[in-house]
Amino acid sequence: MGAPKQKWTSEEEEALRRGVLKHGAGKWRTIQKDPEFSPVLSSRSNIDLKDKWRNLSFSASGLGSRDKIRVPRIKVPSSSPSPSPQLLLLPAPDNVVEASAPEDIAKSPEDDKTHIPKFAMILEALAELKEPNGSDVTTIYNFIEQRHEVQPNFRRLLCAKLRRLIGAKKVEKIEKSYKLTDAYAKKMLAPMKDPSQKKDPAKPSKASKNLGLFAAASPALDAAQAAAMKVADAEAKAHIANEHMMEAERIFKMAEETESLLTLATELYDRCSRGEVLTVLQAAHREF
DNA sequence: GTAGGGTTACGT
DNA sequence: ACGTAACCCTAC
């Protein structure tokens, strides 16, 4: 029944970019109705434009790695060479990055020691929040955000993750809130006296008697829980400390990059003002 | 009409 | 398991 997702074509994307350049971000209806773009964007609604722009903004802001600053790439449409200076001021999302990414730092991209699966974070949050009627997304998000460094779009991911956990019968949804299922909560808190843990993902155990699971927790459960919390806490602290070091490192590197960019820009400007013709490639490789 | 949270489909 | 693009829902 559903429409199989209408992927944006590069023409549509380009029209959107130009539309934003012309009318500004937020004027989605105006852009959509503009005769210059309406032929291309006819099958897109104003909110489609908005959503697409949001996606572009996200992917252009280089989450997780460097530059929070969006660097608009100057793309001359080849037919009309009119690169207005506004281009440099517009917060237009664009395919940044380009070439020249000297990874001279001896840091492996995947750091297994500090990698905590998203699912684990969510389960940990639910286990420790232990709200009888479940916790809503915001509560869960806040909890995780305090404990772990999360990416800016984590909130968005959280919903998808929770759904998967529901599918895996580890979490159940009550109204707008989420909580661990009876079966899974027990499994988490159970001591390892049972080596033959059943991994049956299809737990038919209905959530009929899960009320008061935590309220009626036995001393043994409390102890196990406290121990688990201590471990989790220590891990979280180590994780945070590591994150801070990495962040400092990242900022330092960013400062270096910014400085060299500034130098490059100054040189470029100097040369251009003397009438020299340079290509971006030359500039990037300092071949001038 | 727009912004932003939420959901679903899909690719890796 | 995870991230993301496209789509949906709702408050303002």
Is the CB of A159 within 7 Å of strand B? yes
A23-43 mean pLDDT: 94
DSSP letter string over A42-110?
Answer: TT--HHHHHHHHHHHHHHHT-TTSS-SS--------SSS----GGGGTS--------S-----S---S-
Is the CB of A83 within 7 Å of strand B? no
Tens-place pLDDT, residues A149-178: 776 667 777 888 887 787 777 888 776 778
A47-74 mean pLDDT: 63
Q: Give the distance, in angstroms, between residue A18 CA and nucleotide B1 C1'.
A: 20
Question: Domain residue spans in chain A?
Answer: 7-98, 118-202+209-244
Topology of domain A118-202+209-244 in CATH is Arc Repressor Mutant, subunit A (1.10.10)
**pLDDT over 90, % of chain A:** 17
Same fold, A7-98 and A118-202+209-244: no
Q: The domain A7-98 is classified under which CATH number: 2.40.360, 1.10.3470, 1.10.246, 2.40.128?
A: 1.10.246
What pLDDT, on a 0 to 100 scale, did the predictor assign at position A277?
53
Q: Which of A157-166, A233-242, A259-268 has the lowest mean pLDDT?
A: A233-242
A15-44 mean pLDDT: 94
